[in-house]
Amino acid sequence: MRYDQAVMSERAAEVVICGAGIAGVALAYHLAVRRGMGGVVLVDERPPLSLTSDKSTESYRNWWPGPGDDMVAVMNRSIDLLEELARESGNVFRMNRRGYLFATAEPARVPDFIRAAEEATGRGAGATRVHATPGSDYRPAPADGFEEQPVGADVITDRSLIRRHFPYLAEDTVALLHARRCGWFSGQQLGMYLLERAREKGARLVEGRVEAVDVAGGRVRGVTVAGPGGARRIDTPRFVNAAGPFTKAVGRLLGVELPVFCERHFKVAFNDTLRAVPREAPMMIWTDPVRLPWTADEREELGESDAIRHLLEELPAGVHGRPEGAGESPVVLGIWTYDIEPVEPEFPIVFDPASAEIVIRGLSRMIPALSGYAQRLPRSFVDGGYYTKTEENRFLACPLPVEGAYLLGGLSGYGLMSSNGAADLLADHIAGRALPSYARAFHLDRYQDPAYRSLLPTWGDSGQL
């Protein structure tokens, strides 16, 4: 990607966006293309989309818990925008609608699945359809495309129907919840498409590090960018912090302490040479806790080490995965959030190569054919990045207490899917347009509200997978 050196001589912008990850790029698009704003400058010290936004599993869903319906509303808006972009571009970013398939082998949890689907219906995610008989009219999702598909969720409780449509899942699976307005796309292609459209409308990309924000009289006046040619100033009345894992550090340049923190998350990509995971499968999530299958020798070995003995214990619910890539691709992605804590962001991130084995073994509880890799692991690759989060896992897209300063951050593990909804919301703030009903739920001011603050200790499910 080419950087625009020329803009540095212009020395002025209407808005400077710090960060050309998916958040900053989507905002540049919504300002320059959809709101016709001139003088949009994106500044990044790295190539665009290269820090967190290319490490994602690239999945999307309108399946989100409460409280309230704001999360579902903003995701529905984001997915509407993604679909518009897919249509106008000939689907260059290969958006599909295969759905998220939640599975359980616990008979006692079947009513929970039905209740969860009905609650999601109440929040605006779409209708619930329960399939409790072999002849029920469950409609599977196509592998490609996203048009004319159902929304809401199908809950399948008839075991013969489960086996007919998903014969590769564990035989003791007793219920499936297939959330339908969900799937995946190429985040890199989406980001490049947004960036190119923004550049056609005059947005500029500048290579450099935002080192200082000049604030005088309580408002933004300019930024100092250290780039290849040295440090320069860009005069601007508006500055947006879209710095991903460095959101907190960039907030301090404005003298604002932001309530976000980072967690390290990884994903595993492996070559499924045994073809255990069908290429047309949806995103699959095992919702029961898992005990990993180990041989007696392995159990003894694990039991001897304090560092890894916990792998003999029950591990948390939520191991998930999906096929990746078109055509003959053998790649399967797997994620399992079994070990997280807040950390300071540091790069490069080092990941434990042993996590590939743990994730593949965990996935084998849901897809038994994967146990074929127990003796010999497939070729695999572990990478990842930081989820930059607020405590209740809801992002921030709002003005900051310094006039002319804005925030687009805390996009956690859902920044690709929410990028357009979040950027569209912040663009409305910046352009002074009427705000959507959910604006307040993604505003920093929410923490000033005593009723909201009193909810936080009892928040419950944050929707993180």
Ligand X SMILES: Cc1cc2nc3c(=O)[nH]c(=O)nc-3n(C[C@H](O)[C@H](O)[C@H](O)COP(=O)(O)OP(=O)(O)OC[C@H]3O[C@@H](n4cnc5c(N)ncnc54)[C@H](O)[C@@H]3O)c2cc1C
Closer by beta carbon to ligand X, 321 or else 385: 385
**How many C-beta neighbours within 10 Å does residue 157 have?**
20
The 8 Å CB, 24+ separation contacts for 44-48 are: 44/18, 44/19, 44/20, 44/205, 44/206, 44/207, 44/208, 45/207, 45/208, 45/209, 46/20, 47/1, 48/1, 48/20, 48/21, 48/191, 48/195, 48/205
* Residues whose CB is less than 8 angstroms from the CB of residue 264 and which lie 6 or more positions away in sequence, other chains included: 340, 343, 349, 384, 385, 386
Q: Which two tokens stand for residue 225?
A: 């960018």
- Kindly state the smallest distance separating residue 324's Cβ from ligand X, in Å: 11
- Kindly state the smallest distance separating residue 309's Cβ from ligand X, in Å: 26
Report strand pairing: 239-241 vs 405-409: parallel
- Kindly state the smallest distance separating residue 89's Cβ from ligand X, in Å: 18
Closer by beta carbon to ligand X, 23 or else 161: 23
Q: Which two tokens stand for residue 164?
A: 């007919």
- Kindly state the smallest distance separating residue 326's Cβ from ligand X, in Å: 18
- Kindly state the smallest distance separating residue 160's Cβ from ligand X, in Å: 32
Q: H helices within 338-433, ranges in order?
A: 355-366, 415-431
- Kindly state the smallest distance separating residue 147's Cβ from ligand X, in Å: 21
- Kindly state the smallest distance separating residue 40's Cβ from ligand X, in Å: 15
Closer by beta carbon to ligand X, 130 or else 408: 408
Residues that bind ligand X (CB under 6 A): 18-24, 43-46, 51-53, 55-60, 209-210, 242-246, 250, 265-267, 384-385, 411-417
Closer by beta carbon to ligand X, 114 or else 223: 223
- Kindly state the smallest distance separating residue 299's Cβ from ligand X, in Å: 29
Place of tokens 């055509």: 327
Q: Is 124 left (phi over 0), alpha (psi -120 to 50) or beta?
A: left
Closer by beta carbon to ligand X, 30 or else 129: 30
Complete DSSP assignment for 24-56:
HHHHHHHHHTSS----EEEEESS-TT-SSTTSS
Q: Which two tokens stand for residue 46?
A: 């790295």
Closer by beta carbon to ligand X, 129 or else 181: 181
Closer by beta carbon to ligand X, 43 or else 156: 43
Closer by beta carbon to ligand X, 157 or else 241: 241
Complete DSSP assignment for 256-283:
-----EEEEEEEEEEE-TT--S-TT--E
Tell whether the torsion through CA atoms of 54, 387, 101 and 172 is positive or negative: positive
